[in-house]
Structure 1
């Protein structure tokens, strides 16, 4: 099935505009489900740490907007787009995506859904009825809303095998999008539903621990605590811990001071310096610093 015809591109824009009208920031996607616009810095001799500050298009999820005029500009710059992505973590919805995979050759198509139900039983929460998008492979994307001020990181398989989390810095492929593998569509029984609030018990599983709000004698011990928090990371949670610590540092006005120490700590636990710097830069942008 061809996915690059004008009709498909027109439908992608129409669906993206419909999502934007509901306050969901969107970006155009190519048939590979990747952002359709290439980076304006892709030919630079050295990596460029830019999240759209240059004013050019092509910064992936950082281009996401809910302004209809800006959405049209994005899609006019990418006429080959056949779908759209919805950026997670942005107000007013603070969207969180629960991606239930269809499994592998050794796991059936409902394994991830069963794993989520087991988690719900174990941690005493109910999986709410919410917007559900069916993927071309038969998987499910559950849309949930999070509370303001809680940063949910992206993760793959950390919650359980076959369950990925789309949070801050990530995006969900919107219903009506067409990829090289097929179309994304709303589950019929969820078409009229709004995204449901994420259960508190589930939120505790997917978000870093909340910072305790108590007076600190000075900024130096508080900064040392954030560094220790990163150093205590186990495999699979290194990026999430670094991102959380960097967010707290910038929120408390010590981000620039602590950036090198956080980078050193991240390198000590196995990240590369480039990965660490990129994660810290993302935290700085998210917190508006």
Structure 2
């Protein structure tokens, strides 16, 4: 490992321990922003939806902890980790992340449309639904986006979503995680916005919370959604268009998005077929989809 990577790993551990000391459950992340530890069940003959019950690390956000000794052990098992993730929806803060993505170049695939300004979109939502984002922790991403940290009440489960509120606005809730400030990724370093580092995450405004927790839809229609419906078709085509070297990455990304939107189980076969079309084996494809289900906390189909 290069000296710069050693320093990045040391800093990541220090930042993670500091976050854990403040009550934020953390996991080590690689430069790709994915959990640094691979699933201990990756070689199982069948997809294995364990969420840490086996007692071994490698279960994504389910490994998140505030215990300093366990944090050190996780990072020791992943010395290549250059960042850390903070689990959302967990006490005491029950963190909710408002991920504002800004695209100024030409969008492709399932990326936000070119010119997307999610900050303006959030302002429009605030005016329409009469809420104000309070002073709170804000983390600046290397791509120019922002993560707004809010807290939720103990009796409300906020699901993860991608561009449901508006294009470019993703929500990180229960089963998801935020990249912690100080993390080094392939695109740069995540940093706390000036003037917000001393703040504690503020409570989510009630009007915004209602938008984040829509009424539960009937189960049957969700199960019947197929690869040919809405975003499911786009995700399948995104996987089918993968070239060698990006097949597994595209499949994992698409599967995560499918579980975020409640169609992961319904779309699994179509995604597997698309991945096999690109050259992956069915076993590899289903193992990757199972990993996405574990990471999203949605093995049973909700995020």
TM-score for both structures, normalised by structure 2: 0.72
Alpha-carbon offset, residue 209 of structure 1:
2.4
Cα 1:103–1:38 change in 2 (3 A) is same
Task: Specify the SS of the correspondent of 1:141.
Answer: strand
Q: What is the root-mean-square deviation of aligned Cα atoms in Å?
A: 3.1
Alpha-carbon offset, residue 240 of structure 1:
6.5
Match of 1:150 in 2: 156
Separation in 2, partners of 1:55, 1:192 = 35
Matched, 1:162 2:168: yes
- Bigger mean CA offset, 83-92 vs 233-242: 233-242
Alpha-carbon offset, residue 227 of structure 1:
3.6
Separation in 2, partners of 1:3, 1:283 = 39
CA offsets per residue over residues 90-131 of structure 1, 9 Å max, x none? Answer: 01101010010121425447x110000000001111122210
Matched, 1:129 2:135: yes
Match of 1:44 in 2: 44
Separation in 1, partners of 2:4, 2:186 = 9
Aligned length: 245
Match of 2:122 in 1: 116
Gaps of 5+ in 1: 211-224, 244-262
Cα 1:155–1:3 change in 2 (3 A) is farther
Separation in 1, partners of 2:3, 2:122 = 33
Separation in 1, partners of 2:136, 2:14 = 23
CA offsets per residue over residues 153-203 of structure 1, 9 Å max, x none? Answer: 111111101111111111100001111111110001211111111111111
Separation in 2, partners of 1:183, 1:241 = 28
Matched, 1:28 2:34: no
TM-score for both structures, normalised by structure 1: 0.75
2:206 to 200, 203, 208: 200
List structure 1 segments (4+ residues) > 3 angstroms apart after TM superposition.
106-109, 225-243, 270-276, 278-284
Matched, 1:71 2:77: no
Separation in 2, partners of 1:241, 1:140 = 21
Task: Specify the SS of the correspondent of 1:17.
Answer: helix
Higher RCO (CA-CA < 8 Å; seq separation 6+): 2
Separation in 2, partners of 1:147, 1:196 = 11
Q: Is the 8 A contact 2:161 2:261 kept in 1?
A: no
Match of 2:179 in 1: 173
Gaps of 5+ in 2: 107-113, 233-257, 271-285
Cα 1:281–1:139 change in 2 (3 A) is closer
Separation in 1, partners of 2:188, 2:261 = 36
Cα 1:52–1:135 change in 2 (3 A) is same
Cα 1:3–1:235 change in 2 (3 A) is farther
Q: Please identify the structure whose Cα radius of gyration is greater.
A: 1
Separation in 1, partners of 2:3, 2:105 = 28
Cα 1:208–1:239 change in 2 (3 A) is farther
Q: Is the 8 A contact 2:49 2:299 kept in 1?
A: no
CA offsets per residue over residues 19-76 of structure 1, 9 Å max, x none? Answer: 0011100000011111001111111121111111111110110100011111011011
